Structure formats: structure tokens, C-alpha cells
């Protein structure tokens, strides 16, 4: 600690309702957290190397839709902080979404196990610790892992997010946007990746090339890049994430019969080696909520708090259009009752336009072993308001389960920076065992709705169904007549663009009545009938 922090105070006083005198500086900090309305309890103030349990550090419940940041080096306790906040939100009737990167947040559904470490922490911060499990639903992207499958149709996922997943450059992203625009105009349902490949192939064929001529066209080279990217994407086992039934993000807004908010846990451990995929899918979930939810203004409590883990992956190599869309979505979704917390290692992982909107901050310890670490530390300190602490020294000396906190008070002004010893979660601090987790998933009322993938007739099936089943093709007939073997069967793309059904459908479906696709900031869409 710095000399400034450890100097003997001139006077001492007491926190209202406590029986303990506090140093003047500590009292000033504590008074900034003495909220009168509903709030979440984070822990106890730390000052001069001592934990002061009578000075409780809290977050006002209505301010949790003003967004926030949970940051810190690996192993400093960020995951347990998410669990602690999620428990208290659920207890106050607020639904929560958690991205479970490591697979250890499923324990929120089970009561915690008492031990000396938990008891010691509870005593230090004056916490009445009671083992408690919370209502939870478990999801998995495309069903890869334990959980109810979460899928999206290609149409609703949209070109901006898909371009990020496919790692396309700006020109290729713009061309993909033209392809989606054409499909939207023609009423072509892009349910899965087969449908998208079919449309791309048609638009580069002799028959379809003229369709985009008036709005820029699609070069064969760019189409080839897109098709190869789709093929590589499928080869990695990604195709299952696109299809039907499409997940309704409104499921995240439910409460349990006892009034507690349901904690939705999306397991990502099985896809943690594909960061661009899961980070972009998380953004689709958030953008879909934004697209569907009504305006509610400043509500007494959030309708949902969404924790976006490994947030830096979302911003890595992102185009300007993508970053602009993130910024605008975060700025506007607050008025729809959704709070977003980005979880990452340092504030510099988040673009400044987004960081400026994150008024609630929980910063765990940082390391300063390298010049880059020291640079990140200095940058982090600059993002905090004026502090009574020497933050550069404090942030490198915090222990596990300790953090520097500043939040928005009940009037919207930032609270004083407070070093905080955090409370212990009351649910299980570890994963639920596989069989128990599987049973919880199968007993969910949502399991029957989303578990089984449906491959209904969509664009690709319509385009390739004009030849009667069992009929012999020209090559088969030549071979039967003793002619030399023909060339190999044409590829799927060649079959599609040569299909008479394709040519007929592509010219006629645009006249269908009562179908409209509207796209939001991210180009995500819902078909409305």
C-alpha cells in the first residue's frame, strides 16, 4: 500500500448502524455505498491492509442495466465473482445469462459445500453464508456438450456476424451482404449452410450473374472465397450450429415458480478452441434480444443481466462496421432492460467507445511481470476515477477473491473506488457431475422444444428435388448402353445452378405476399408473417 493510503487519519467516525469506528478516508468511501434501495452485496471494504466488515460494498439493483466490466488476470477469481453476482440477481427475481467457458458454472444450480475456507471468508466480511442452489437452465451451442441445443438460422444470423465467423475481409463481407439482400428480396429461406451455398453458386452462374448486376455484382473469385470458407467451417463440425428449431432468446427472460430469476448457463467448454465462433454467437444472442425486446426506459430492476465472458475475443480482428454495431447495441439495449457485463483480463481489451458505457467495474488483480503487463496496468489505472488508493500498487497486490470496485450509485454518479474483499458464492463452486447435469437438461420443459434438429424443406431441398426418385440420369443411361464411363457426377453446386427448379424459384419467390425480413444493427433478422 502507498503512504497516502496508510497514513494515520486525522479523525475517525462510524458507518451508520455499525459499532466500529472507521478511518476518515474509509468512512468517505463506505458512505458512497450506503444505498437505501435494493442492492447486491459484493463484500467488505479493505483499507490499510485490513478488512472492514462494517463497511459493505454494494451495487444498486436498478443500476445493473447500465452495463459493467469484470476484469483481472487468470486465476484471480473472476468466475466466482460472476457466480456471486448471478446468485443475488436470481434471488431478487432477475434472470441471468452466463457464458460458461470452462464448464464450471453449472454448480450454480446446486447448494455449496461448507469448508474452512468458505467459513473463514464469510466471517471476514460478515456474510451469513447459507448453502443454496439456484434455478438454472443449461444450453450448448448446436447441442455440442451438455445442454439444450442453441441454433440459429443463417437468415437470422445475418451477414455481419457470419462474415466474422468465416474471417472474411471487408470486401468479402460486403459481398456476403449482397447475397443476403438478394435472398431476403426473393423470399429465399437460408435455414442452414446448404441453402447459403446454393444461393452463392447460383449468383455466379450464367443464369444468375445478372441478378446482382444492378447493385454491384458478385465476382467469381469472391464467391470462391466464401464457398471455401463455408466448406472449411463445415469440416470443423460447425454446421450443426445453423438450422432449426431456431432458439428463441426470450427463453432467457423467465423466472421460476418461486419468483427467482432463472440462470441460463451456456456451456462453451466443447468449443473453447473456436473463439470466433462462440464469441460471435454470444453477440447474436444479444443482438436478437435487442431486436425483439420493447423499450422499457429506466426500470426498477433489469429484465436480464447478460455476462459476456472472454469479451476480448469479440473485438479481435473486428471490422469497423462490426465494432460500430457492438457500440450501438450496447448503448441502446439498456433502454430495453438488459444489462451487459463484459468479462476479460484488462479494460484495454474493450474498445474505448464501449468501455465508456461500462459504469460498474470490478477489477481483480493484474500482473506486471513484463513491459506489456506494466503498460496494461498503467492503462487500467487511468480508466478509474480519482482514488484514495495507489492503484498501481494495489492492483498488483490483491489476493484471490479481492477486487477494486466502483459502480454507479442510485443517482447515476460513480461511487468512490473501493478495494473489496468479496463474499463467497453460496452455490457449488465447481461443475455439477455429468449424469446429474444430463438429468437436469432432459427434465427441462424446453428440452422437447429444441432437442431434435429439424431439416425442413428449404431452398436447397427445393432446388435439387426436380428429378424423380429412382430415375436414371444421362450418365447412368449411357453406361447401361455400353458407352464409356462419363465424367464424375457434378458437385452439389453444379447440380443446384443447373436445376430448372432453381431458375423458376429464384424468379418467382420474390412475389410472395405477407413475408417480410427486417434486419437490425448487426444484420440479424426475424422473419415476420
pLDDT tens digits for range 233-270: 888 878 889 999 999 999 999 999 999 999 999 998 77
pLDDT in tens, 349-383: 999 999 999 999 999 999 888 898 899 899 999 98
Whether 81 and 107 share a structural domain? yes
Work out the angle at residue 40's Cα, subtended by the Cα atoms of residues 38 and 41, and round it to the nearest 5 degrees: 125
Whether 184 and 249 share a structural domain? no
Whether 108 and 186 share a structural domain? no
Whether 90 and 218 share a structural domain? no
| C-alpha torsion angle, residues 249, 253, 254, 259 (rounded to 10) | 170
Residue 482 belongs to some domain of the structure: no
Burial of 180-191, coded b for 16+ CB within 10 Å and e otherwise, reads: bbbbbebbbbbb
In this structure, of 98-112, 288-302, 370-384, 473-487, the range with the lowest mean pLDDT score is: 473-487
DSSP 221-255: HHHHHHHHHHHHHHHTT-GGGB-BSPP-GGGGG-B
Would the pLDDT of 61 be above 90? Answer: yes
Whether 285 and 375 share a structural domain? yes
Residue 510 belongs to some domain of the structure: yes
Residue 328 belongs to domain with CATH number: 3.40.50.300
C-alpha dist (Å) from residue 480 to 128, 469, 470, 474, 486? 83, 18, 15, 10, 11
Among 145, 159, 240, 148, which Cα is nearest to 196's? 159
Would the pLDDT of 42 be above 80? Answer: yes
Residue 5 belongs to some domain of the structure: no
Could you tell me the residue range of the domain that residue 513 belongs to? 154-242+450-464+488-528
Whether 196 and 253 share a structural domain? no
Whether 179 and 55 share a structural domain? no
Spatial distance between the Cα atoms of 28 and 82, rounded to a whole number of angstroms: 27
Which residues contact residue 184 at a Cβ distance below 8 angstroms, ignoring those fewer than 6 apart?
Answer: 155, 517, 519, 525
Q: Residue 83: its pLDDT value, please?
A: 96
For 173, the grid coordinates are 463481407
Average pLDDT, the chain: 83
Whether 41 and 127 share a structural domain? yes
Q: Residue 51: its pLDDT value, please?
A: 95
Under the banding of pLDDT at 50, 70 and 90, the label for residue 512 is very low
Q: Residue 494: its pLDDT value, please?
A: 47
In this structure, of 141-145, 168-172, 271-275, 492-496, the range with the lowest mean pLDDT score is: 492-496
For 260, the grid coordinates are 427467482
State the pTM of this model: 0.84
Residue 429 belongs to some domain of the structure: yes
Spatial distance between the Cα atoms of 395 and 68, rounded to a whole number of angstroms: 18
Whether 128 and 267 share a structural domain? yes
Strands 136-141 and 50-60: unpaired
Would the pLDDT of 3 be above 70? Answer: no
Q: Residue 266: its pLDDT value, please?
A: 94
The total number of structural domains in the chain stands at 2
Residue 8 belongs to some domain of the structure: no
Contact 502, 266 (CB under 8 A): no
Under the banding of pLDDT at 50, 70 and 90, the label for residue 119 is very high
For 38, the grid coordinates are 435494493
pLDDT in tens, 69-90: 999 998 999 999 999 999 999 9
Whether 290 and 219 share a structural domain? no
Q: Residue 463: its pLDDT value, please?
A: 56
Residue with cell 464501449: 354
Whether 409 and 421 share a structural domain? yes
Contact 119, 248 (CB under 8 A): no
Whether 300 and 414 share a structural domain? yes
Among 361, 292, 300, 301, which Cα is nearest to 333's? 292
Residue with cell 423466472: 255
Amino acid at each position: 500500500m502507498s503512504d497516502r493510503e496508510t497514513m494515520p487519519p486525522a479523525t475517525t467516525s462510524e458507518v451508520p448502524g455499525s459499532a466500529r469506528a472507521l478511518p476518515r478516508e474509509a468512512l468517505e468511501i463506505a458512505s458512497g455505498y450506503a444505498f437505501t434501495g435494493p442492492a447486491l452485496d459484493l463484500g467488505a471494504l479493505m483499507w490499510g491492509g485490513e478488512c472492514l466488515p462494517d463497511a459493505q460494498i454494494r451495487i444498486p439493483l436498478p443500476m445493473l442495466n447500465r452495463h459493467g466490466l469484470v476484469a483481472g488476470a487468470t486465476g484471480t477469481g473472476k468466475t466466482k465473482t460472476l457466480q456471486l453476482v448471478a446468485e443475488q440477481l436470481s434471488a431478487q427475481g432477475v434472470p441471468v445469462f452466463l457464458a460458461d467457458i470452462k464448464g464450471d458454472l453449472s454448480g450454480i444450480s446446486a447448494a455449496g459445500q461448507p469448508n474452512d475456507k468458505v467459513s473463514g471468508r464469510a466471517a471476514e466480511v460478515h456474510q451469513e453464508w447459507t448453502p443454496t442452489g439456484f434455478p438454472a437452465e443449461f444450453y450448448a451451442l448446436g447441442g455440442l456438450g451438455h445442454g439444450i441445443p442453441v441454433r440459429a438460422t443463417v437468415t437470422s444470423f445475418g451477414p455481419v456476424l457470419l462474415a466474422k465467423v468465416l474471417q472474411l475481409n471487408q470486401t468479402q463481407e460486403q459481398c456476403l451482404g449482397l447475397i443476403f439482400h438478394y435472398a431476403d428480396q426473393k423470399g429465399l429461406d437460408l435455414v442452414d449452410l446448404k441453402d447459403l451455398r446454393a444461393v452463392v453458386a447460383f449468383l455466379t452462374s450464367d443464369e444468375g450473374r445478372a441478378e446482382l448486376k444492378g447493385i454491384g455484382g458478385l465476382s467469381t473469385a469472391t464467391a470462391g472465397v466464401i464457398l471455401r470458407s463455408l466448406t472449411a467451417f463445415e469440416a470443423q463440425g460447425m454446421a450443426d450450429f445453423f438450422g432449426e428449431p431456431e432458439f428463441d432468446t426470450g427463453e432467457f427472460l423467465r423466472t421460476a415458480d418461486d419468483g427467482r430469476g432463472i440462470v441460463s448457463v451456456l456451456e462453451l467448454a466443447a468449443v473453447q478452441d473456436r473463439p470466433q465462433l462462440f464469441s460471435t454467437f454470444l453477440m447474436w444472442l444479444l443482438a436478437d434480444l435487442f431486436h425483439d425486446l420493447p423499450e422499457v426506459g429506466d426500470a426498477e430492476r433489469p429484465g436480464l443481466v447478460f455476462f459476456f465472458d472472454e469479451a476480448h475475443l469479440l473485438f479481435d480482428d473486428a471490422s469497423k462496421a462490426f465494432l460500430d454495431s457492438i457500440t450501438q447495441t450496447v448503448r441502446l439495449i439498456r433502454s430495453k432492460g438488459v444489462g451487459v457485463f463484459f468479462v476479460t483480463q484488462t479494460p484495454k481489451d474493450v474498445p474505448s467507445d464501449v468501455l465508456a458505457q461500462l459504469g460498474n467495474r470490478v477489477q481483480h488483480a493484474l500482473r506486471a511481470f513484463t513491459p506489456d503487463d506494466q503498460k496494461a496496468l498503467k492503462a487500467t489505472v487511468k480508466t478509474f476515477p480519482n482514488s484514495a488508493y495507489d492503484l498501481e500498487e494495489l492492483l498488483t497486490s490483491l489476493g484471490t477473491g479481492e477486487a477494486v470496485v466502483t459502480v454507479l450509485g442510485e443517482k447515476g454518479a460513480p461511487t468512490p473506488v473501493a478495494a473489496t474483499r468479496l463474499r463467497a458464492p453460496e452455490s457449488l463452486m465447481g461443475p455439477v457431475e455429468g449424469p446429474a447435469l444430463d438429468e437436469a437438461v432432459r427434465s427441462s420443459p424446453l428440452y422437447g422444444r429444441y432437442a431434435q434438429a429439424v431439416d425442413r424443406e428449404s431452398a436447397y431441398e427445393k432446388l435439387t428435388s426436380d428429378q424423380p426418385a429412382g430415375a436414371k440420369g444421362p450418365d447412368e443411361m449411357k453406361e447401361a448402353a455400353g458407352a464409356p464411363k462419363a465424367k464424375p457426377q457434378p458437385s452439389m453446386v453444379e447440380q443446384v445452378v443447373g436445376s430448372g427448379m432453381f431458375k423458376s424459384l429464384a424468379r418467382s419467390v420474390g412475389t410472395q405476399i405477407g413475408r417480410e425480413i427486417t434486419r437490425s444493427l448487426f444484420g440479424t433478422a426475424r422473419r415476420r408473417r
